[in-house]
């Protein structure tokens, strides 16, 4: 646990008692602070009480006796409408922060600075690929024998990690919600993967969304920045950070185009990752045969992780060896089985058209399981990416709406996951990929995308068992 520094003997309000809120209370107490904990949900309050946390109704608190309010990232603090308790704290002049801010203000201790190699923090943000990139960096470090922990929006909450040891690297996945409010941001290496529209109501538009991501770099002041430059926002960010074209503190990455110039560049084209410095090629890796990183979107993730690993002094050959043993994350282009020349891939995390498009571009001869609770616009935007789809098997609430948007693509309305898996398995031929990439939310049939992916996996394994 990271004990929170700077609040010894002071009252600190904590709003939201999910995973991060409970960890925040424990970390505050470990640092000598007095947490005043509250959650609008009776269920969450009951769970907190069972964990021995004292509750205080923050709707009635005397803010004059509170040093700070720590809020969970999922609670709106500005747009579309501030939470009433956060608004009261603002009105009283009480500083508002979150667990990410507490982590960065408490991470570096006198004991850590006495190590031969003080611990480092790598922070990863962006719209897509954050989780895979974070996990891949952690995997490379682990495979190379470097002590590492993974936390943030993946794995543990940031305050729940073990106190870092000599030479350890903490790899954090950070969302725009987490970055938007954190009062302290001091990563050693910061990564920006890409940007596409998301959470726009929370950030009052695309500009606010990008501004939240940009805080990690503009206010974080990392020693090195790894920037995806396939969108104009990334190009702008890299340009803002670099003092000159050859400034090696900025590593530009791309998937699909060669990066020229005198700086430090890592890019993937036609399945090959290349590293260039000062206009000269330093290394190359063939990504095509790496099963845990299929498709251009994963090649971008590989470029980002490679750049971080090189920044930490890891040799290209060791990075390539670690790539080969990376299994991918559950529900993200996850190969769950291969039988009779047919591959079965679980990408249940593809809950919108952007992520589904990436999955559809990663494979040939696709038998596509899609559907669920569709989002605005349905799947019309996927038309350019249906060329590899042999047939679509549609499930859930939006199955019939999706069918109307498929044009000439062969399709079948199956309603349930079990039926879709059974039909796709029955029709699949050697060389085909049965792909779950729903392009929709799961809430019509499942509590979350993880349960949907687990249902797909179970149906596939059951079908393969029956075939035997």
Write down the mean pLDDT value for the chain. 94
HSE, side-chain direction, 13 A CA sphere, residue 357 = 13
The rounded distance, in Å, linking the Cα atoms of 447 and 435 is 21
pLDDT at res. 456: 98
Section 201-205 average pLDDT: 91
Q: Would you list which residues are annotated within the binding site for ATP?
A: 126-132
Per-position b or e across 215-227, b if 16+ CB within 10 A of its CB: bbbeebebebbbb
Task: Give the residues across from 394 on adjacent strands.
Answer: 370, 413
Tokens representing 120 are: 């480092």
With a cut of 70, say whether residue 468 has pLDDT above it.
no
Section 445-455 average pLDDT: 95
Cβ partners under 8 Å of residue 244, min gap 6:
none
- 283 pLDDT band (50/70/90 cuts)? very high
The rounded distance, in Å, linking the Cα atoms of 121 and 186 is 8
Q: Which of 104-108, 285-289, 316-320 has the highest mean pLDDT?
A: 316-320
Of residues 301 and 197, more confidently modeled: 301
Judged on CB neighbours under 10 Å (0-12, 13-18, 19+), 164 is: buried
Rg (CA), the chain: 23
Task: Give the residues across from 181 on adjacent strands.
Answer: none
Which superfamily does CATH assign the domain made up of 11-97 to?
NAD(P)-binding Rossmann-like Domain (3.40.50.720)
Find the angle CA(356)-CA(359)-CA(361) to the nearest 5 degrees. 110
With a cut of 70, say whether residue 455 has pLDDT above it.
yes
The rounded distance, in Å, linking the Cα atoms of 19 and 14 is 12
Distances (CA, A) of 80 to 74, 83, 94, 99: 12, 9, 21, 22
Find the angle CA(429)-CA(435)-CA(439) to the nearest 5 degrees. 145
pLDDT at res. 467: 67
HSE, side-chain direction, 13 A CA sphere, residue 317 = 0
Section 434-455 average pLDDT: 95
Which superfamily does CATH assign the domain made up of 334-467 to?
Mur ligase, C-terminal domain (3.90.190.20)
- 451 pLDDT band (50/70/90 cuts)? very high
The rounded distance, in Å, linking the Cα atoms of 411 and 104 is 50
CATH topology for the 102-324 domain: 3.40.1190
pLDDT at res. 9: 97
With a cut of 70, say whether residue 274 has pLDDT above it.
yes
Taking only the tens place, the pLDDT of each residue in 59-93 is 999 999 999 999 999 899 999 999 999 999 999 99
- 328 pLDDT band (50/70/90 cuts)? confident
Q: Would you list which residues are annotated within the binding site?
A: 126-132
User: Strands 96-97 and 264-269, how do they pair?
Assistant: unpaired
Distances (CA, A) of 211 to 152, 190, 233, 271: 20, 15, 10, 32
Query: How much of the chain exceeds pLDDT 70, in percent?
Result: 99
Find the angle CA(251)-CA(192)-CA(255) to the nearest 5 degrees. 70
Taking only the tens place, the pLDDT of each residue in 139-196 is 999 999 999 999 998 888 999 999 999 999 999 999 999 999 999 999 999 999 999 8
- The domain ranges of the chain are 11-97, 102-324, 334-467
Cβ partners under 8 Å of residue 363, min gap 6:
294, 295, 343, 345, 388, 433, 435
Task: Give the residues across from 385 on adjacent strands.
Answer: none
Taking only the tens place, the pLDDT of each residue in 206-223 is 999 999 999 999 999 999
Section 42-49 average pLDDT: 93
Sign of the four-CA dihedral 282, 287, 293, 294: positive
Place of tokens 């974070």: 134
Cβ atoms of 302 and 287 closer than 8 Å = yes
Taking only the tens place, the pLDDT of each residue in 252-269 is 999 989 998 899 999 999
């Amino acid at each position: 646990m990271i004990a929170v520094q700077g609040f010894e003997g002071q009252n600190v309000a904590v709003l939201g008692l999910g995973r991060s809120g409970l960890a925040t209370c424990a970390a505050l107490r470990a640092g000598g602070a007095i947490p005043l904990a509250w959650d609008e949900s009776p269920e969450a309050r009951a769970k907190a009480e069972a964990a021995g946390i004292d509750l205080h109704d923050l709707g009635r608190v005397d803010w004059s006796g509170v040093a700070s309010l720590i809020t969970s990232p999922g609670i709106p603090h500005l747009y579309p409408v501030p939470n009433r308790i956060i608004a009261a704290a603002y009105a009283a002049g009480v500083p508002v922060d979150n667990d990410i801010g507490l982590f960065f203000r408490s991470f570096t201790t006198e004991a850590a600075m006495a190590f031969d190699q003080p611990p480092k923090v790598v922070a990863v943000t962006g719209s897509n690929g954050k989780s895979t990139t974070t996990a891949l960096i952690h995997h490379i470090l682990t495979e190379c024998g470097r002590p590492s922990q993974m936390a943030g929006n993946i794995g543990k909450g940031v305050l729940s990690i073990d106190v870092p040891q000599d030479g350890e690297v903490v790899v954090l996945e950070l969302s725009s919600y987490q970055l938007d409010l954190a009062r302290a941001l001091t990563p050693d290496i910061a990564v920006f993967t890409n940007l596409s529209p998301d959470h726009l109501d929370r950030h009052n538009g695309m500009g606010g969304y990008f501004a939240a991501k940009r805080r990690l770099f503009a206010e974080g002041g990392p020693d090195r920045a790894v920037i995806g430059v396939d969108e104009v926002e990334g190009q702008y960010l890299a340009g803002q950070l670099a003092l000159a074209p050859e400034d090696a503190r900025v590593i530009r990455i791309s998937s699909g185009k060669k990066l020229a110039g005198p700086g430090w560049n890592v890019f993937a084209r036609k399945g090959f990752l290349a590293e260039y410095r000062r206009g000269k090629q330093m290394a190359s890796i063939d990504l095509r045969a790496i099963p845990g990183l299929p498709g251009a979107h994963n090649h971008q993730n590989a470029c980002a992780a490679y750049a971080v690993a090189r920044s930490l002094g890891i040799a290209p050959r060791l990075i390539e060896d670690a790539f080969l043993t990376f299994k991918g994350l559950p529900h993200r282009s996850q190969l769950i089985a291969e039988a009779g020349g047919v591959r079965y891939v679980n990408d249940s995390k593809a809950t919108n058209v952007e992520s589904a498009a990436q999955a559809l571009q990663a494979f040939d001869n696709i038998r596509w399981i899609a559907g669920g609770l569709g989002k605005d616009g349905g799947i019309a935007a996927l038309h350019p990416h249906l060329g590899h789809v042999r047939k679509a098997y549609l499930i859930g609430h939006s199955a019939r709406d999706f069918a109307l948007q498929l044009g000439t693509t062969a399709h079948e309305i199956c309603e349930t996951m079990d039926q879709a898996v059974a039909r796709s398995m029955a029709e699949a031929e050697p060389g085909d990929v049965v792909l779950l990439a729903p392009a929709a939310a799961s809430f019509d049939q499942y509590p979350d995308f993880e349960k949907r992916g687990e249902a797909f996996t179970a149906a596939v394994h059951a079908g393969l068992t029956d075939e035997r």
